[in-house]
């Protein structure tokens, strides 16, 4: 993360910053530690940062292997590229000594704050989400890594297997929002039926209107996901403002009437009074009546 923060534009979508105490700790490294640490940052700057944690399959494989190894990077058996393994093996003891105790305490505090919400709402969210999406829960268990630094979005999920990485310091992930973020991320592993249903609806409508093409919506399934988890948490926690509302996603990423149309067409399915396909077909048809000019498009991607 220090390497990322030191390269302007490397984070692309949202500035990534290292907390002041974490930067200050650099002063406490011995000369030998400093040399190793700065060589590690150089390696990351030159070899890793340009690669996206979410969309680069090689990076995903490295991430999964590192997670599988837990904290055993020093044993040398982990199957990641040799140069990266060497860099991590040399840097790990320095990280553990200088940053890990504080980071672990922060992560544990975040987990402890989230736990009562999980105890209270997890069973009902689990049942409701699997019913709405008509898909099994995407792992038993779904692994969640609670970390100080995640990525530009504050959380992300890799699929097959579904694994969640969430920042415990991101301001948007605190309090009840942590509950929504965790279930939002896990839901990424249950979206196949929604994605297929939206594709079907768009294809069907498009073939009916050859001379008046519709706008194919790359992120509509993600908007539906944002709405669903946010609304379910809002229904369970009085006064809660869903993540997308709180963080302005409907204004800066998913613009136009999307939120209102999702609420009108998708909520009946959430409540069990309409089939999934029927509900999403209505959504696509209603969006199409507005035409492409009714919205400014996805100027910036939605978070997570």
Per CB under 5 A, residues contacting Zn ion are 304
CB 25 within 8 A of CB 19: no
Is the Cβ of residue 269 or residue 304 nearer to Zn ion in the bound state? 304
Cβ of residue 304: shortest distance to Zn ion, in angstroms?
4
- Measured from the CB atom, the residue of 230 and 284 that comes closer to Zn ion is 230
Smallest gap from residue 110 Cβ to Zn ion (A): 19
Please give the structure tokens belonging to residue 299. Answer: 């100027």
Residue found under tokens 């009946």: 268
* 122 to 81, 130, 154: CA distances (angstroms): 38, 12, 21
| Residues 28 and 98: beta-carbon distance below 8 Å | yes
Shortest reach from residue 22's CB to Zn ion, in Å: 27
Strand, helix or coil at 140?
coil
Yes or no: say if 268 and 274 are a contact pair by the CB < 8 Å rule: yes
**The token pair that represents 212 in the structure block:** 């008046």
Cα–Cα dist 63/59, whole Å? 6
C-beta of 188: minimal distance to Zn ion in Å?
6
Which CB, 63 or 304, lies closer to Zn ion? 304
Nearest one of 105, 246, 110 to 182, comparing CA atoms: 110
Give dist(CA 187, CA 190) in Å, integer. 5
- DSSP-assigned letters across all residues of 153-192: TSEEEETTTTEEEEESS-GGGSTHHHHHHHHHHHHGGG-H
CA distance 103 to 99: 6
Residue 99 or 137: which CB sits closer to Zn ion?
137
Q: How far is the CB of 61 from Zn ion (least distance, A)?
A: 21
Minimum distance of Zn ion from residue 195's CB (angstroms):
13
Q: To which residue do tokens 């963080």 refer?
A: 247
Residue nearest to Zn ion (CB): 304
Q: Nearer Cβ to Zn ion, position 103 or 304?
A: 304
CB of 63 to Zn ion, least distance (A): 17
Q: Which is nearer to Zn ion, 163 or 304 (CB)?
A: 304
Q: Measured from the CB atom, is 176 or 228 closer to Zn ion?
A: 228
């Amino acid at each position: 993360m220090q390497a990322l923060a030191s390269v302007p534009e490397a984070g692309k979508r949202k500035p990534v910053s290292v907390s002041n105490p974490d930067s200050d700790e650099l002063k406490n490294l011995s000369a030998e530690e400093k040399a190793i640490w700065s060589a590690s940052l150089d390696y990351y700057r030159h070899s890793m940062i340009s690669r996206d944690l979410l969309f680069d399959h090689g990076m995903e494989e490295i991430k999964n292997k590192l997670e599988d190894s837990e904290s055993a990077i020093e044993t040398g058996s982990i199957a990641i590229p040799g140069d990266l393994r060497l860099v991590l093996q040399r840097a790990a003891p320095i990280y553990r000594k200088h940053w890990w105790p504080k980071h672990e305490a922060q992560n544990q505090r975040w987990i402890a704050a989230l736990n009562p919400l999980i105890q209270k709402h997890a069973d009902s969210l689990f049942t409701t989400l699997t019913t709405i999406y008509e898909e099994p829960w995407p792992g038993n268990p779904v692994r969640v890594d609670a970390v100080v630094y995640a990525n530009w979005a504050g959380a992300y999920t890799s699929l097959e297997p579904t694994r969640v990485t969430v920042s415990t310091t991101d301001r948007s992930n605190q309090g009840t929002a942590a509950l929504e973020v965790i279930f939002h991320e896990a839901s990424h592993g249950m979206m196949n039926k929604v994605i297929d249903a939206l594709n079907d609806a768009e294809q069907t409508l498009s073939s009916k209107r050859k001379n008046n093409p519709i706008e194919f919506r790359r992120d509509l399934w993600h908007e539906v996901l944002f709405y669903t988890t946010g609304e379910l948490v809002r229904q369970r926690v009085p006064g809660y403002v869903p993540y997308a509302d709180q963080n302005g996603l409907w204004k800066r990423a998913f613009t136009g009437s999307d939120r209102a149309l999702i609420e009108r067409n998708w909520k009946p399915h959430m409540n069990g009074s309409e089939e999934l396909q029927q509900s999403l077909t209505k959504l696509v048809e209603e969006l199409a009546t507005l035409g492409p000019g009714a919205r400014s498009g996805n100027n910036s991607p939605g978070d997570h």
